[in-house]
């Protein structure tokens, strides 16, 4: 189930608003330039599936996005609770960072939490299977997969090198709620 919590950046203890209706989440995020859509995640893939299996299962969706937005690189991040580097990966993504291109993820299984720092607000977006999120380039954000990750997400990039982060050095991510599966 998708969820959006909106916070004042100085008040991490109490959300200003909480939304669980997908259309409302899409509208609120759209007002700040974030793409949020509901797609069909009905192919039989599960956390731990190979990158090739996931890309093959969703090739039509991937090719449509590539044609629409000019994405040149695609990869799959697929993590389960038994992944040997899950703790290191969680720490890496939990630091506030930006990208010089849009960050697009389509969740085909499981869940993950994107937290966006836009102006004076924090937008905490719980994404689940079927959610596509597009975070505009330059947007400060972080991602939490939780202590026991269980998700598969397709990532699309215009940069052929794939995921390249510019870390802000700020500790704001440490003050806001984390994903606890």
The three-state DSSP-derived secondary structure of 69-93 is HCCCEEEEEEECCCCCCHHHHHHHH
Confidence class for position 114, pLDDT limits 50, 70, 90: very high
Mean pLDDT of the chain: 91
The answer, yes or no, to whether residue 25 has pLDDT greater than 90, is yes
All structural domains of the chain: 3-160 (2.60.120.10)
Task: Specify the higher pLDDT residue, 68 or 35.
Answer: 35
The answer, yes or no, to whether residue 125 has pLDDT greater than 70, is yes
**47-104 per-position pLDDT tens digit:** 677 889 899 999 998 999 899 888 888 989 888 899 899 999 898 889 999 988 888 9
102-99-169 Cα angle (round to 5): 150
Cβ(1)–Cβ(128) under 8 Å?
A: yes
Conformational region of residue 29, where left means phi above 0, alpha means psi within -120 to 50, and beta covers everything else: alpha
Q: What is the pLDDT of residue 162?
A: 57
Task: Specify the higher pLDDT residue, 181 or 11.
Answer: 11
Least confident window among 5-9, 129-133, 167-171: 167-171
Confidence class for position 116, pLDDT limits 50, 70, 90: very high
Q: What is the pLDDT of residue 163?
A: 64
Q: What is the pLDDT of residue 44?
A: 75
The C-alpha atoms of residue 169 and residue 151 are separated, in whole angstroms, by 27
Predicted TM-score (pTM) of this structure: 0.91
The answer, yes or no, to whether residue 160 has pLDDT greater than 90, is no
């Amino acid at each position: 189930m998708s969820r959006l919590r909106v916070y004042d950046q100085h008040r991490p203890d109490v959300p200003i608003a909480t939304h669980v209706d997908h259309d409302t989440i899409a509208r609120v995020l759209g007002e700040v330039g974030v793409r949020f859509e509901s797609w069909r995640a009905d192919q039989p893939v599960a956390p731990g599936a190979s990158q090739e299996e996931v890309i093959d299962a969703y090739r039509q969706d991937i090719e449509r996005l590539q044609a629409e937005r000019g994405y040149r690189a695609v990869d799959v991040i697929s993590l389960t609770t038994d992944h040997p580097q899950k703790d290191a990966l969680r720490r890496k993504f939990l630091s506030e960072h930006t990208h010089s291109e849009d960050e697009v993820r389509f969740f085909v299984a499981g869940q993950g939490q994107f937290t966006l720092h836009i102006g004076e607000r924090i937008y905490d977006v719980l994404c689940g299977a079927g959610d596509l999120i597009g975070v505009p380039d330059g947007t400060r954000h972080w991602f939490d997969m939780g202590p026991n990750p269980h998700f598969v997400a397709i990532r699309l990039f215009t940069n052929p090198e794939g995921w390249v982060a510019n870390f802000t050095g700020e500790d704001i991510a440490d003050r806001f709620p984390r994903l606890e599966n």
